[in-house]
Protein backbone atom coordinates (compact mmCIF):
# COMPACT_ATOMS: atom_id res chain seq x y z
CA UNK A 1 0.00 0.00 0.00
CA UNK A 2 1.33 3.43 -0.97
CA UNK A 3 1.68 5.87 1.92
CA UNK A 4 1.51 9.51 0.79
CA UNK A 5 2.88 12.46 2.71
CA UNK A 6 5.03 15.59 2.61
CA UNK A 7 8.71 14.89 1.99
CA UNK A 8 10.02 18.44 1.97
CA UNK A 9 8.95 22.08 2.28
CA UNK A 10 10.11 25.60 1.53
CA UNK A 11 8.62 29.07 2.09
CA UNK A 12 9.03 32.66 1.00
CA UNK A 13 7.99 35.72 3.00
CA UNK A 14 8.57 39.26 1.72
CA UNK A 15 11.00 41.48 3.60
CA UNK A 16 8.64 44.45 3.96
CA UNK A 17 6.88 44.40 7.34
CA UNK A 18 3.58 46.24 7.87
CA UNK A 19 2.90 46.58 11.60
CA UNK A 20 -0.26 47.50 13.46
CA UNK A 21 1.39 50.83 14.28
CA UNK A 22 1.71 51.48 10.53
CA UNK A 23 -2.05 50.98 10.22
CA UNK A 24 -2.63 53.43 13.08
CA UNK A 25 -1.27 56.12 10.74
CA UNK A 26 -3.84 55.47 7.98
CA UNK A 27 -6.89 54.04 9.77
CA UNK A 28 -8.91 54.84 12.87
CA UNK A 29 -7.57 51.84 14.75
CA UNK A 30 -4.94 50.83 17.30
CA UNK A 31 -2.36 48.13 17.87
CA UNK A 32 -4.23 47.04 21.00
CA UNK A 33 -7.57 46.68 19.18
CA UNK A 34 -6.12 44.76 16.23
CA UNK A 35 -4.18 42.44 18.50
CA UNK A 36 -7.15 41.73 20.75
CA UNK A 37 -9.62 41.16 17.93
CA UNK A 38 -7.39 39.21 15.52
CA UNK A 39 -4.11 38.19 17.16
CA UNK A 40 -2.17 39.93 14.39
CA UNK A 41 0.83 42.16 15.21
CA UNK A 42 2.41 42.45 11.78
CA UNK A 43 2.23 41.09 8.25
CA UNK A 44 4.47 41.04 5.16
CA UNK A 45 3.76 42.93 1.95
CA UNK A 46 5.53 42.10 -1.30
CA UNK A 47 7.05 44.92 -3.33
CA UNK A 48 5.24 46.07 -6.48
CA UNK A 49 7.65 44.16 -8.73
CA UNK A 50 7.05 40.86 -6.88
CA UNK A 51 3.92 38.95 -7.85
CA UNK A 52 2.37 35.67 -6.75
CA UNK A 53 4.35 33.56 -9.21
CA UNK A 54 7.66 35.10 -8.07
CA UNK A 55 6.97 34.09 -4.48
CA UNK A 56 5.78 30.65 -5.58
CA UNK A 57 8.97 29.99 -7.57
CA UNK A 58 11.22 30.88 -4.64
CA UNK A 59 9.21 28.68 -2.27
CA UNK A 60 9.31 25.81 -4.78
CA UNK A 61 13.09 26.05 -5.18
CA UNK A 62 13.53 25.95 -1.41
CA UNK A 63 11.21 22.94 -1.09
CA UNK A 64 13.16 21.06 -3.75
CA UNK A 65 16.47 21.89 -2.08
CA UNK A 66 15.23 20.91 1.39
CA UNK A 67 13.82 17.60 0.17
CA UNK A 68 16.67 16.61 -2.13
CA UNK A 69 14.22 16.40 -5.04
CA UNK A 70 15.36 17.53 -8.47
CA UNK A 71 13.26 19.06 -11.22
CA UNK A 72 13.39 15.73 -13.07
CA UNK A 73 11.57 14.05 -10.17
CA UNK A 74 8.49 16.28 -10.18
CA UNK A 75 5.67 15.16 -12.44
CA UNK A 76 2.83 17.55 -11.52
CA UNK A 77 2.40 21.10 -10.17
CA UNK A 78 -0.61 22.38 -8.23
CA UNK A 79 -0.69 26.02 -7.11
CA UNK A 80 -3.38 27.09 -4.64
CA UNK A 81 -4.02 30.80 -5.05
CA UNK A 82 -6.75 33.43 -5.21
CA UNK A 83 -4.41 36.13 -6.52
CA UNK A 84 -2.87 34.90 -9.79
CA UNK A 85 -0.63 37.19 -11.82
CA UNK A 86 -3.13 36.85 -14.70
CA UNK A 87 -6.31 34.89 -15.42
CA UNK A 88 -4.03 32.88 -17.71
CA UNK A 89 -1.39 31.66 -17.99
CA UNK A 90 -1.85 30.25 -14.51
CA UNK A 91 0.65 30.69 -11.71
CA UNK A 92 1.37 26.97 -12.04
CA UNK A 93 2.20 27.45 -15.74
CA UNK A 94 4.62 30.23 -14.86
CA UNK A 95 6.24 28.11 -12.12
CA UNK A 96 6.58 25.19 -14.56
CA UNK A 97 8.29 27.43 -17.10
CA UNK A 98 10.66 29.19 -14.70
CA UNK A 99 11.73 25.93 -13.05
CA UNK A 100 11.95 24.11 -16.42
CA UNK A 101 9.93 21.21 -15.07
CA UNK A 102 9.76 19.01 -18.17
CA UNK A 103 6.34 20.15 -19.45
CA UNK A 104 4.57 18.41 -16.56
CA UNK A 105 0.84 19.03 -16.05
CA UNK A 106 0.25 22.14 -14.00
CA UNK A 107 -2.84 23.99 -12.82
CA UNK A 108 -4.09 26.46 -10.24
CA UNK A 109 -6.41 25.37 -7.43
CA UNK A 110 -8.92 28.09 -6.54
CA UNK A 111 -10.42 27.34 -3.12
CA UNK A 112 -9.33 30.56 -1.39
CA UNK A 113 -7.78 30.03 2.06
CA UNK A 114 -8.56 26.29 1.93
CA UNK A 115 -6.59 25.95 -1.29
CA UNK A 116 -3.51 24.23 0.09
CA UNK A 117 -5.59 21.51 1.72
CA UNK A 118 -7.51 21.01 -1.53
CA UNK A 119 -4.18 20.79 -3.35
CA UNK A 120 -2.77 18.34 -0.84
CA UNK A 121 -5.84 16.09 -1.16
CA UNK A 122 -5.67 16.27 -4.96
CA UNK A 123 -1.99 15.29 -4.97
CA UNK A 124 -2.71 12.47 -2.52
CA UNK A 125 -5.32 10.95 -4.82
CA UNK A 126 -3.14 11.16 -7.93
CA UNK A 127 -0.25 9.49 -6.13
CA UNK A 128 -2.41 6.81 -4.51
CA UNK A 129 -3.81 6.01 -7.95
CA UNK A 130 -0.28 5.55 -9.29
CA UNK A 131 -0.72 8.29 -11.91
CA UNK A 132 2.05 10.53 -10.56
CA UNK A 133 4.85 10.02 -8.07
CA UNK A 134 5.93 13.44 -6.83
CA UNK A 135 3.66 16.46 -6.89
CA UNK A 136 4.72 20.02 -6.13
CA UNK A 137 1.91 21.68 -4.14
CA UNK A 138 2.24 25.41 -3.54
CA UNK A 139 0.10 27.84 -1.56
CA UNK A 140 0.81 31.41 -2.66
CA UNK A 141 -1.07 34.69 -2.40
CA UNK A 142 -0.33 38.37 -2.80
CA UNK A 143 -3.33 39.68 -0.93
CA UNK A 144 -1.91 43.18 -0.56
CA UNK A 145 -3.04 43.89 -4.14
CA UNK A 146 -6.62 43.03 -3.11
CA UNK A 147 -6.76 45.19 0.03
CA UNK A 148 -9.03 48.22 0.28
CA UNK A 149 -7.00 50.43 2.62
CA UNK A 150 -10.14 52.45 3.41
CA UNK A 151 -11.89 49.34 4.79
CA UNK A 152 -10.80 48.95 8.39
CA UNK A 153 -12.52 45.58 8.77
CA UNK A 154 -10.42 43.84 6.11
CA UNK A 155 -7.29 45.94 5.51
CA UNK A 156 -5.64 44.88 8.77
CA UNK A 157 -6.08 41.13 8.19
CA UNK A 158 -4.06 40.12 5.19
CA UNK A 159 -0.44 39.55 4.23
CA UNK A 160 1.61 38.09 1.39
CA UNK A 161 3.61 34.88 1.23
CA UNK A 162 4.16 31.48 -0.35
CA UNK A 163 4.98 27.98 0.82
CA UNK A 164 5.60 24.80 -1.15
CA UNK A 165 5.47 21.10 -0.33
CA UNK A 166 6.81 18.12 -2.24
CA UNK A 167 4.17 15.41 -1.88
CA UNK A 168 5.14 11.81 -2.57
CA UNK A 169 5.45 8.31 -1.23
CA UNK A 170 6.64 8.03 2.38
CA UNK A 171 7.59 5.12 4.65
CA UNK A 172 5.07 2.91 6.38
CA UNK A 173 3.39 4.60 9.33
CA UNK A 174 3.88 8.11 7.97
CA UNK A 175 1.78 10.33 5.73
CA UNK A 176 -1.84 11.35 5.28
CA UNK A 177 -4.31 9.27 7.28
CA UNK A 178 -7.55 11.08 6.43
CA UNK A 179 -8.96 14.22 4.88
CA UNK A 180 -12.28 15.99 4.41
CA UNK A 181 -13.28 18.69 1.93
CA UNK A 182 -16.48 20.68 1.56
CA UNK A 183 -18.08 23.82 0.20
CA UNK A 184 -21.26 25.87 0.34
CA UNK A 185 -21.72 28.31 -2.52
CA UNK A 186 -24.67 29.91 -0.75
CA UNK A 187 -22.16 31.49 1.64
CA UNK A 188 -20.07 33.00 -1.13
CA UNK A 189 -21.80 36.35 -0.58
CA UNK A 190 -20.11 36.65 2.82
CA UNK A 191 -16.52 36.63 1.54
CA UNK A 192 -15.67 37.47 -2.04
CA UNK A 193 -13.53 39.36 -4.55
CA UNK A 194 -15.66 42.31 -5.67
CA UNK A 195 -15.81 42.29 -9.47
CA UNK A 196 -15.96 46.09 -9.72
CA UNK A 197 -13.40 47.25 -7.18
CA UNK A 198 -11.29 44.04 -7.26
CA UNK A 199 -11.04 44.33 -3.46
CA UNK A 200 -11.80 41.68 -0.85
CA UNK A 201 -15.25 42.15 0.68
CA UNK A 202 -16.34 40.34 3.83
CA UNK A 203 -19.31 40.09 6.17
CA UNK A 204 -17.18 39.58 9.26
CA UNK A 205 -20.01 38.53 11.57
CA UNK A 206 -21.29 35.76 9.27
CA UNK A 207 -17.80 34.49 8.38
CA UNK A 208 -16.86 34.38 12.05
CA UNK A 209 -19.96 32.34 12.99
CA UNK A 210 -19.37 29.92 10.14
CA UNK A 211 -15.64 29.53 10.81
CA UNK A 212 -16.01 28.94 14.55
CA UNK A 213 -18.43 26.10 13.88
CA UNK A 214 -16.73 24.44 10.93
CA UNK A 215 -13.14 24.58 12.23
CA UNK A 216 -14.01 22.73 15.42
CA UNK A 217 -16.28 20.18 13.75
CA UNK A 218 -13.73 19.43 11.01
CA UNK A 219 -10.83 19.02 13.40
CA UNK A 220 -12.71 16.43 15.42
CA UNK A 221 -14.15 14.67 12.38
CA UNK A 222 -10.88 14.23 10.48
CA UNK A 223 -9.18 12.99 13.66
CA UNK A 224 -11.86 10.38 14.22
CA UNK A 225 -11.73 9.34 10.56
CA UNK A 226 -8.02 8.59 11.08
CA UNK A 227 -8.94 6.33 14.04
CA UNK A 228 -7.35 8.78 16.46
CA UNK A 229 -8.51 10.89 19.38
CA UNK A 230 -7.46 14.35 20.50
CA UNK A 231 -4.97 12.72 22.86
CA UNK A 232 -3.12 11.36 19.82
CA UNK A 233 -2.68 14.79 18.21
CA UNK A 234 0.67 16.50 18.76
CA UNK A 235 -0.02 19.70 16.80
CA UNK A 236 -3.09 21.49 15.43
CA UNK A 237 -2.32 23.74 12.49
CA UNK A 238 -5.36 25.92 11.77
CA UNK A 239 -5.66 28.46 9.00
CA UNK A 240 -4.24 31.65 10.50
CA UNK A 241 -7.26 33.90 10.00
CA UNK A 242 -8.20 35.08 13.49
CA UNK A 243 -6.91 33.97 16.88
CA UNK A 244 -10.45 33.67 18.28
CA UNK A 245 -11.47 31.30 15.49
CA UNK A 246 -8.28 29.31 15.96
CA UNK A 247 -8.89 29.07 19.68
CA UNK A 248 -12.37 27.70 19.10
CA UNK A 249 -10.91 24.78 17.13
CA UNK A 250 -8.24 24.16 19.77
CA UNK A 251 -10.77 24.10 22.58
CA UNK A 252 -13.08 21.80 20.62
CA UNK A 253 -10.11 19.43 20.27
CA UNK A 254 -9.34 19.84 23.99
CA UNK A 255 -5.69 20.59 23.24
CA UNK A 256 -3.33 22.75 25.32
CA UNK A 257 -2.34 26.02 23.66
CA UNK A 258 1.24 24.85 23.10
CA UNK A 259 -0.15 22.22 20.72
CA UNK A 260 -1.62 24.82 18.37
CA UNK A 261 0.47 26.59 15.74
CA UNK A 262 0.31 30.38 15.99
CA UNK A 263 2.05 32.34 13.25
CA UNK A 264 -0.76 34.85 12.79
CA UNK A 265 0.98 37.45 14.94
CA UNK A 266 3.94 37.43 12.52
CA UNK A 267 2.31 37.08 9.10
CA UNK A 268 -1.43 37.76 9.36
CA UNK A 269 -3.77 35.90 7.04
CA UNK A 270 -1.79 34.75 3.99
CA UNK A 271 -4.72 32.77 2.54
CA UNK A 272 -3.59 29.60 0.72
CA UNK A 273 -0.04 30.05 2.06
CA UNK A 274 -1.17 30.22 5.69
CA UNK A 275 -1.20 26.53 6.60
CA UNK A 276 2.01 25.45 4.81
CA UNK A 277 3.89 28.48 6.18
CA UNK A 278 2.80 27.40 9.66
CA UNK A 279 3.83 23.78 9.08
CA UNK A 280 7.33 24.76 8.05
CA UNK A 281 7.59 27.27 10.89
CA UNK A 282 6.81 24.58 13.47
CA UNK A 283 9.17 22.05 11.84
CA UNK A 284 12.01 24.60 11.85
CA UNK A 285 11.39 25.33 15.54
CA UNK A 286 11.37 21.59 16.33
CA UNK A 287 7.75 21.66 17.44
CA UNK A 288 6.84 19.08 14.79
CA UNK A 289 9.06 16.01 14.71
CA UNK A 290 9.02 12.71 12.85
CA UNK A 291 6.19 10.54 14.12
CA UNK A 292 4.05 13.45 15.33
CA UNK A 293 0.37 13.39 14.43
CA UNK A 294 -0.84 16.72 13.09
CA UNK A 295 -4.19 18.13 12.00
CA UNK A 296 -4.42 20.80 9.31
CA UNK A 297 -7.74 22.62 9.16
CA UNK A 298 -8.95 25.62 7.21
CA UNK A 299 -11.84 27.56 5.71
CA UNK A 300 -12.09 30.15 2.98
CA UNK A 301 -14.19 32.11 0.57
CA UNK A 302 -16.52 30.10 -1.57
CA UNK A 303 -17.34 29.12 1.12
CA UNK A 304 -14.87 26.24 1.31
CA UNK A 305 -13.43 24.12 4.09
CA UNK A 306 -11.04 21.21 4.51
CA UNK A 307 -8.91 19.27 6.95
CA UNK A 308 -6.13 16.68 6.89
CA UNK A 309 -4.87 14.36 9.59
CA UNK A 310 -1.37 13.05 8.98
CA UNK A 311 1.67 11.56 10.66
CA UNK A 312 4.73 13.69 9.99
CA UNK A 313 7.83 12.06 8.51
CA UNK A 314 9.12 10.44 5.35
User: Average pLDDT of the chain?
Assistant: 96
* Domains along the sequence of the chain with CATH: 3-170 (3.40.47.10), 175-311 (3.40.47.10)
How crowded is the C-beta side of 207, counted as CA atoms within 13 Å? 22
Q: Residue 132: is its pLDDT beyond 90?
A: yes
Instruction: Determine the pLDDT at residue 33.
Output: 95
Quickly state the pLDDT bin for 92 (edges 50, 70, 90): very high
pTM to 2 decimal places: 0.96
Q: How far is the C-alpha of 199 from the C-alpha of 150, rounded, in Å?
A: 11
Q: Residue 306: is its pLDDT beyond 90?
A: yes
Question: For the segment 157-189, what is each residue's pLDDT rounded down to a tens digit?
Answer: 999 999 999 999 999 999 999 999 999 999 999
What is the β-pairing status of strands 293-300 and 235-238?
parallel
Q: Residue 153: is its pLDDT beyond 90?
A: no
End-to-end, the C-alpha distance of the chain in Å comes to 15
Quickly state the pLDDT bin for 152 (edges 50, 70, 90): confident
Residues marked as catalytic: 113, 239, 269
Phi, psi of 188 (to 5 degrees): -60, -25
Q: Which residues neighbour 29 within 8 Å (Cβ) at sequence distance 6 or greater?
A: 20, 23, 152, 156
Percent of the chain, pLDDT > 70? 100
Question: For the segment 117-130, what is each residue's pLDDT rounded down to a tens digit?
Answer: 999 999 999 999 99
Q: Residue 102: is its pLDDT beyond 90?
A: no
Cα angle, residue 270 at apex, residues 45 and 29 outer, rounded to 5°: 65
Q: Residue 1: is its pLDDT beyond 90?
A: no
Nearest to 112 by CA among 146, 135, 83, 77: 83
Q: Residue 210: is its pLDDT beyond 90?
A: yes
Amino acid sequence: MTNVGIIGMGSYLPEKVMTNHDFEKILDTSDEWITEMTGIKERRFAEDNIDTSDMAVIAAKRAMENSGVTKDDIDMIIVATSTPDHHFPTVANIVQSKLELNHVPSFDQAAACTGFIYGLATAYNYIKAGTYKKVLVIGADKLSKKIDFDDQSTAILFGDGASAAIVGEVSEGYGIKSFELGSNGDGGKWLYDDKDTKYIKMNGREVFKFAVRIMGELSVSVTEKADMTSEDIDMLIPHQANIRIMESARKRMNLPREKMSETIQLYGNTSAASIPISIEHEVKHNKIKDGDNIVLVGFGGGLTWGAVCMTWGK
